[in-house]
Amino acid sequence: MLTSKQRAALRAMATNLEPIIYVGKAGLTENVLTQVDDALTARELIKGTVQQNAPVTAAQMASEIAAATGAEAVSASGRKFVLYRARPEDPTIRI
């Protein structure tokens, strides 16, 4: 569980990130979960976008993905969301 200060620091780091995860009208699929898991392992902090025709909001998608991958939902605003999961060994981001 992240504290509010940790969440704020991660949000600040994510400001300049480009979204690398796109969720469309199919919603949360196995492919999306695999991409998220791989991206979190490689980067620790990622930004995603929920497309206009998706059946859920960014906040709902962030919480679903976080629950499925063991990540933390940092923020969700509009159609964008930010996720964080520290690497088990040698984490890059220190908060």
Q: Is residue 92 part of a domain?
A: no
What's the pLDDT score for residue 92? 87
Q: Is residue 90 part of a domain?
A: no
Q: Dihedral of the CA atoms 37, 48, 85, 13 (nearest 10)? A: 150
Q: Is residue 91 part of a domain?
A: no
Specify the CATH number for the domain of residue 23: 3.30.110.60
pLDDT digits (tens, 9 = 90+) for 37-86: 999 999 999 999 999 999 899 999 999 999 999 999 999 999 999 999 99
Q: Is residue 70 part of a domain?
A: yes
pLDDT digits (tens, 9 = 90+) for 21-30: 999 999 999 9
Nearest Cα to 50, choosing from 30, 27, 75, 33?
27
State how many domains the chain has. Answer: 1
Q: Is residue 89 part of a domain?
A: no
Q: Is residue 30 part of a domain?
A: yes
Q: Is residue 95 part of a domain?
A: no
pLDDT band at 94 (very low <50, low <70, confident <90, very high): confident
